[in-house]
Amino acid sequence: MSIISKKALSKIQPNMTVSLGGGSNVLTLAKDLNNAQIPGLRLYSPSEITKFQCEQLGLNILALNDNMPKFDLAFDGCDSIDQNFNALKSGGGIHLFEKIAAENAKEYIRKLQ
């Protein structure tokens, strides 16, 4: 388990509603969530890639629809950092949905670090 994932898992409690954004750190978190088997956890993702990878792990990702839930936590990540330490987002087009998830979260975690 990575330090980033361990820190993220420390924030996740049973029966929470959590949005998993995109990126390699979020995928690592998903793998660790699968192993942790937190009871009553409801997972969503604005990322089709994350959703697919989670389903491959056996995690149930609920569909986002017009009745957007309020999230207890929304995780987002970045895939790389440039020479000026600017976070570079993926080209997957999920930014709008990540912003919607963030607005619906009690707590929004932008970077896993």
Distance separating alpha carbons of residues 42 and 26, to the nearest angstrom: 16
Residue 38 CA to residue 9 CA, distance in Å, equals 10
48 noted as active-site residue:
no
Q: Which of 48, 98, 103, 107 is catalytic?
A: 98
Annotated catalytic residues are 98
